[in-house]
Chain A
Amino acid sequence: QVQLVESGGGVVQPGRSLRLSCAASGFTFSSNHMHWVRQAPGKGLEWVALISYDGSNGYYVDSVKGRFTVSRDNSKNTLYLQMNRLRAEDTAVYYCVKDGGSVVGAAHAFDVWGQGTLVTVSS
């Protein structure tokens, strides 16, 4: 079945770095754009980043530009999020999400979600 499994979350001090990973299975990873979406504790959803199917293009929400980098390894069916210069406001559950673009009309809807990994930025 289609599955996304995130890992790499944890507690990190402000200003430090963390890398999240997401292992994909059950679909043709290399044909799909992928996203990261986050949710601060008790808050709503915030889109963070998109990477194109071939890794050639990345797009980010302004609040993480210059600090976060999204990448992928299609040979390993794995998505990454490198997070540098972390801030307290980056504390959230981070979800790896598949773009729905393989379905007509569903481009940039989020049709498959991982279970999420919690990142806590605190001293």
Chain B
Amino acid sequence: DILMTQSPSSVSASVGDRVTITCRASQGISSWLAWYQQKPGKAPKLLIYAASSLQGGVPSRFSGSGSGTDFTLTISSLQPEDFATYYCQQANSFPFTFGPGTKVDV
């Protein structure tokens, strides 16, 4: 199975900050990586697919980059509604696996 790791596990930030989250795969997954946002008590929401493609309706302050084993999610200017937990997921091979999550809070 492909192990996904994320860093940091949590980050304290303020509105307007630039936030970067890193995701690493235990083996190469090309660009088969997605990012999700989850708020408490809610289902996850797809933000980014194919490592850098923005899902429809997602604000342009979210961006993704990387390929192979190392990926990043960047929020260019944190907004109040962005405080949440973020997960990466490899879509390269079965079983599809998620990172442990990064909590972005105040």
Residues of A at the B interface (CB closer than 8 Å) are: 35, 44-47, 50, 59-62, 95, 100, 103, 105-111, 113-116
Contacts and interface: CB of A to CB of B under 8 A. Distances in A.
Interface residues of B, number: 25
B71 interface: no
A61 B38 CA distance: 22
Contact of A107 (B36, B38, B87, B91): B91
Contacts of A114: 43
Nearest to A49: B95
Contact of B50 (A44, A46, A106): A106
Interface in B12-67: 31-32, 34, 36, 38, 43-46, 49-50, 53, 55
Nearest to B45: A113
B2 to A, nearest CB: 11
Given A47-B96, A100-B49, A108 B91 contact: yes
B96 A108 contact: yes
Query: Which of B46, B50, B89, B96 counts the most A-chain CB atoms under 10 A from its CB?
Result: B96
A116 B49 CA distance: 22
A105 B36 CA distance: 16
Given A47-B98, A111-B55, A105 B45 contact: no
